[in-house]
Structure 1
Amino acid sequence: MMLTLEQVKAKSAAHLSGLQPVIKDAATALIEFAYAHGVPIMITQGLRTIAEQDSLYAQGRTKPGQIVTNAKGGYSYHNFGVAIDFALLLPDGSVSWDTKRDGDGDGVADWSEVVADAKRLGWEWGGDWTSFKDLPHFQMDFGLSTADYRAGKRPTQAQLSTVVARVAKLQGEEEEAMTADEKKEFEELKVAVKERDGRIAALEARLNIDGKQTYAGGYDDAIKAAKAAGAIKTSADKSKLELNMIQMLYNLGLFNKEAK
């Protein structure tokens, strides 16, 4: 079942909470843009503490695993809440770093679509680096080095306002880009999905798939006979379809009708 946008955003919530407000808004916009283009994503890393960064730096050096960063604590933009890492979010809720995957079937790798959306929003992509390519990584450093951040420098209000304006402008363009026919199709799709979910829920209730429904009376004799014959041990998790089958077999005399 396709995840809703709210479900997709909820997957990233924990990793967005420590980001600088403007960066958080830009990351949320990236999630929304990617989803609108058929590519659900999850933010897997946001703010990292110095200790977390040092632990990550040790991986592949003094700790088991592959080297995943060249930055010690205080030398990564993650430590200052202006960087994120992402992964593709699959329908079953798991994540993938497959850069060639084309989950929406449009002939373009999902990863490339996310990168394109990110660059439109003003994110710098780690995949463009020459010395150490970091394909899941995006950052907005505002022209400041990590040394500047360590020294207490921060983006100016004008720089932050520029990002806010860019995100707002692109969000407006995204909304306008949808034609009247596309909007109609989208609304029809939402209705169809809602109706489908309702049918699935009704079917689950009818078949007692979740095991929560109970059916009082009407099957007592058949159930007792089936238990006595060793055909079943309990009726607690039986669907109505199964109970009807037990009743039919009982009516055909295949169980001991005298069992009480």
Structure 2
Amino acid sequence: MTLTLEYVQSKSAAKLSGLLPVVRAATEALITRCFYRGVPIVITQGLRTIAEQNNLYAQGRTQAALNKVGLANVKAKPSEPKVTNARGGYSNHNFGVAIDFALLMPDGKNVSWDTKRDGDGDRQADWAEVVEEAKKLGFVWGGDWVSFKDTPHFEMTFGLTTAQYRAGKRPTQAQIDAAFKKINETEGDNAMTPDEKAAFAALEKKVAVLEKNAKMAAIPTWAAAACENAKKAGLLDTTADGSYDFYRMVTIMDRAGLFKKGA
């Protein structure tokens, strides 16, 4: 299937509920930016309740270990793999300032945690591209941690510890404003890459040849919207007197999102 931005966004919508508004905005920007880099992602975890956190903490631990930290009412799962060192209230997920992600596969259903996968063929691991975009937006990556690496994890804690969050402390308005500013400052980075610009330039040359071959008296109805988008993006001065192939090419480029990316 052909993945659209709207479809990719919908796959993560439920997991964004409960996130701190600025963290949600950064997450939405991350999904969009990664999509335009050819790396669709899905958010697999956002806000996590205390009970959910304790159940995760129980994985890979005995009942005696749980009892020792005051979790006698939580059922141990010693046969399952250990996935976290944080019990309820000790994870940034519990306060809406952390997310986990996975790569969304081309079928739009399956996901992958393959950190070496290069699905868009740009000779850079998709995972690394996501991490790069996340850091630009102000996220801290769990893969940089020393004691317990968590490669699908991003967080934006504003310098607060989980102990401070448990005590009721929250980011200041100045910190939130600064975070929003960082997100807004980077929103223009979705412009075409050098390779895309070169490809677009080559297409422009082909379009010029096509224009000379045959001109149509009026813009076809099916190409009108694409022509408008091309003009709004500043990529074409005029779309009048074009050929059939010209209008077809403009429509294809519009459907591929090139005019939106170059805007």
TM norm. shorter chain > 0.5: yes
Aligned to 2:120: 104
- CA–CA distance in 2 between the matches of 1:104 and 1:83? 27
- CA–CA distance in 1 between the matches of 2:197 and 2:180? 25
Higher relative contact order (CA 8 A, sep 6+): 2
- CA–CA distance in 2 between the matches of 1:68 and 1:160? 30
- CA–CA distance in 2 between the matches of 1:144 and 1:101? 34
- CA–CA distance in 2 between the matches of 1:32 and 1:192? 15
Aligned with 1:155: secondary structure? Answer: coil
Aligned with 1:51: secondary structure? Answer: helix
Instruction: Call closer, same or farther: CA 1:191–1:77 in 2, change over 3 Å.
Output: closer
Residue-by-residue CA offset, 1:76-115 (whole Å, 9 max, x unaligned): 0000000000000001121000001000001011000000
Aligned with 2:102: secondary structure? Answer: strand
Q: Which amino acid is 2:148 matched to?
A: F
Aligned to 1:77: 92
Gaps of at least 5 residues in structure 2 are 62-75, 202-232, 236-248, 258-263
Aligned to 1:244: none
- CA–CA distance in 1 between the matches of 2:82 and 2:140? 21
Aligned to 1:199: none
Alignment of 1:145 onto 2:209: no
Aligned to 1:31: 31
From 76, 83, 107, the counterpart of 1:68: 83
Residue-by-residue CA offset, 1:121-161 (whole Å, 9 max, x unaligned): 11000000000000000000100000000000000001001
Superposition RMSD in Å? 2.2
From 87, 99, 124, the counterpart of 2:102: 87
Bigger radius of gyration: 1
From 144, 154, 160, the counterpart of 2:170: 154
Q: Which amino acid is 1:114 matched to?
A: V
Alignment of 1:188 onto 2:204: no
Q: Which amino acid is 1:36 matched to?
A: Y
- CA–CA distance in 2 between the matches of 1:161 and 1:9? 24
Q: Post-superposition shift, 1:2?
A: 2.2
Q: Percent identity?
A: 61
Instruction: Call closer, same or farther: CA 1:110–1:186 in 2, change over 3 Å.
Output: farther
Alignment of 1:44 onto 2:44: yes
Q: Post-superposition shift, 1:173?
A: 3.6
Aligned to 2:17: 17
Instruction: Call closer, same or farther: CA 1:158–1:176 in 2, change over 3 Å.
Output: farther
> Given the two structures, how large is their TM-score scaled by the length of structure 2?
0.69
Aligned to 2:244: none
The count of aligned residue pairs is 193
- CA–CA distance in 2 between the matches of 1:187 and 1:124? 40
Aligned with 1:13: secondary structure? Answer: helix
Q: Post-superposition shift, 1:65?
A: 1.4
- CA–CA distance in 2 between the matches of 1:170 and 1:186? 28
- CA–CA distance in 2 between the matches of 1:34 and 1:186? 24
Aligned to 2:222: none
Aligned with 2:51: secondary structure? Answer: helix
